[in-house]
Amino acid sequence: MSKSRIKLGVQGEDLAVDYLKKKGIKVRVRNYRQKIGEVDIIAQDGQWLVFIEVKTRKSLRFGQPYESVTLKKQAQISRVALDYITRNNLHDQPIRFDVISILLQSDGNTDINHLPNCFDAVL
């Protein structure tokens, strides 16, 4: 991955964290990585343990950012979520999978679209 794409991803995740905090959602972990993959943000929203994928783009040339969360990506996030739940003994806690889609527009505006409970676990 190029440095500019990494920088764009980090910028998007920073914006997502700020957005979540303003909504009263507590960020537990950023960039939870295991050999099987990564989850961008793990958060607590009331009773819900939330696994969040952040997608950031500068244009709609390839569609909305959230459209790139494929079934394959959903399965990878699901496996990492199961790993986190198991390691932290959180089996009794309800979970959901969200996507935060961020479009950094050329006029300097930012469009943040939060899609709660966007997909079910895919194992």
User: What local confidence, expressed as pLDDT, does residue 115 receive?
Assistant: 97
% residues pLDDT > 70 (the chain): 99
Q: Where are the domains of the chain?
A: 3-119
Judge whether residue 89 has pLDDT over 80. yes
CATH topology of domain 3-119: Trna Endonuclease; Chain: A, domain 1 (3.40.1350)
Res 66: pLDDT: 92
Query: CA angle, corner 90, sides to 89 and 96, nearest 5?
Result: 150
Where does the pLDDT of residue 8 fall: very low under 50, low under 70, confident under 90, or very high at 90 and above? confident
Tokens of 61: 């040339």
Is residue 13 within 8 A of residue 52, CB to CB? The reply is no
Instruction: Label residue 79 by pLDDT band (50, 70, 90).
Output: very high
